[in-house]
Amino acid sequence: MNITLRVWRQQNADTPGAMQTYQVADVSPDMSFLEMLDVLNEQLTLAGDDPIAFDSDCREGICGMCGLVINGLAHGPNELVTTCQLHMRSFSDGDVIDVEPWRAQPFSVIKDLVVDRSSFDRIIQAGGFISAPTGTAPDAHAAPVPKADADAAFDAATCIGCGACVAACPNGSASLFVAAKITHLGLLPQGQPERDSRALDMLAQHDEEGFGGCTQIGECTAACPKGIQIDLISRMQRDVLGALSHRR
Ligand code: SF4
Ligand code: FES
C-alpha cells in the first residue's frame, strides 16, 4: 500500500503548528499504525529530518500512552481499539490520512503528536486511591464482594487513562475518565472510607485543570477503547450529590 499522511508538526506549546504531508510507500497491511509511523520516522531520520514525536509504550492496548486523532477520530476509525492496536489493513491503498494530537485545552502540545496528560495524574492524586490496608491476596479474597459489584468494578478499572474521551468530547470534558476511577473504587469495600472525599476532590481537580462539564453527548464512550459506559457519569454525579448531602 502507498499512503499519504498529513501530520501535525509543532515544535512546542508556544509555537504554531501546521499539517505537513509525507508519502509512505510499501506499507504492509499487517503493520500497526505506529509501526507505519516508525517506518516514516526511519525515512525522516535517514534523510536528516526531524522524526515525528508520538507517544507509545506497551503497544498492546494496556498502558494508555498512545493516542492520535486519525481522520478526525480519537484512536482512528475502529471501535474498541487503541491507536497501537489499529492496523493498516483498516485503510486502503492510496488513502490520504490526517494525523493530529489530542486537542483539549488542558492537554498542551509537548511536541508534534505528544501532549501533556499530567492533569490526569493530578486528578488521580486528588482522590483516586484507597488508604485501607488490603494485606495480601488471601486477605483480599476474604473480603466479601457481590459478584455484580466485582464485575462492574473490574469493567470500570479497565480504563487505561488514554484521554480519548477528552479528545472526542466537544466540551473537552474528562468526565468519563473520572467516573471510571470513582466507580472502580466506590464499588469495593476497601474504597468506602474515602468515597465521599474521592468524588468531591477528583471532580474539583478535574474542573481546576480546565476540563469542561459533561452534557451527556456520548462521544466519549464512542471513542473509548475500553468500552467504558456513559452511565458511569450518572453514577459519579450521584456519588457527588451523596457526598454533598453528607457534608450538611
Ligand atoms: S474512559 Fe476510556 S477513553 Fe477515557 S481515559 Fe479511560 S480508557 Fe481512555
Ligand atoms: S502503547 Fe500502550 S495502549 Fe497503546
The answer on 127 and 66 residing in a single domain is no
Domain total of the chain: 2
Distance in Å, CA 150 to ligand 2 centroid: 25
Of residues 247 and 146, which shows the higher confidence score?
146
Flag whether 212 is in a domain.
Answer: yes
Please state the atom number of ligand 1 nearest to the C-alpha of residue 179: 1
d(Cα 247, Cα 168) in Å, to the nearest integer?
34
d(Cα 243, Cα 201) in Å, to the nearest integer?
10
Residues present in the chain in total = 248
Distance in Å, CA 67 to ligand 2 centroid: 8
- Angle in degrees, 0-180, between the axes of helices 195-208 and 118-127, rounded to the nearest 10: 150
Flag whether 109 is in a domain.
Answer: no
In tens, the pLDDT along 191-245 reads: 999 999 999 999 999 999 999 999 999 999 999 999 999 999 999 999 999 999 9
Please state the atom number of ligand 1 nearest to the C-alpha of residue 168: 3
**Span 88-101, average pLDDT:** 98
d(Cα 165, Cα 224) in Å, to the nearest integer?
6
Flag whether 91 is in a domain.
Answer: yes
**CATH at 238:** 1.10.1060.10
Flag whether 107 is in a domain.
Answer: no
pLDDT of residue 52: 98
- pLDDT > 90? residue 114: yes
The answer on 96 and 127 residing in a single domain is no
Residue-averaged pLDDT of the chain: 97
pLDDT of residue 74: 98
The answer on 54 and 173 residing in a single domain is no
**Span 155-160, average pLDDT:** 98
- Which of the ligands is closest to the CA of residue 65? 2
Count of C-beta atoms within a 10 Å radius of residue 75:
27
- Which of the ligands is closest to the CA of residue 84? 2
**Span 78-101, average pLDDT:** 98
Please state the atom number of ligand 1 nearest to the C-alpha of residue 174: 4
- pLDDT > 90? residue 137: no
In tens, the pLDDT along 33-59 reads: 999 999 999 999 999 999 999 999 999
Flag whether 108 is in a domain.
Answer: no
- Confidence grade of residue 141 (pLDDT, cut at 50, 70, 90): confident
The answer on 78 and 126 residing in a single domain is no
The answer on 83 and 12 residing in a single domain is yes
- pLDDT > 80? residue 155: yes
The answer on 216 and 124 residing in a single domain is yes
**CATH at 47:** 3.10.20.30
What is the domain extent for residue 49? 3-100
Ligand 2 pocket mutation, candidates 65, 68, 159, criterion most atoms within 8 A of CB: 65
Please tell me the pTM assigned to this model. Answer: 0.96
The answer on 169 and 66 residing in a single domain is no
Instruction: Read off the C-alpha cell for 4.
Output: 499519504
Q: Which of 16-30, 84-98, 130-144, 206-220 has the lowest mean pLDDT?
A: 130-144
DSSP lists the bridge partners of residue 99 as: 7, 70
Percent of the chain with pLDDT over 90: 95
Measured by CA distance, the residue closest to atom 8 of ligand 1 is 162
The answer on 122 and 93 residing in a single domain is no
Please state the atom number of ligand 2 nearest to the C-alpha of residue 85: 4
Q: Are strands 69-70 and 73-74 parallel, antiparallel or unpaired?
A: antiparallel
Flag whether 171 is in a domain.
Answer: yes
- pLDDT > 90? residue 72: yes
- pLDDT > 90? residue 140: no
The answer on 124 and 76 residing in a single domain is no
**Span 89-99, average pLDDT:** 98
- pLDDT > 80? residue 248: no
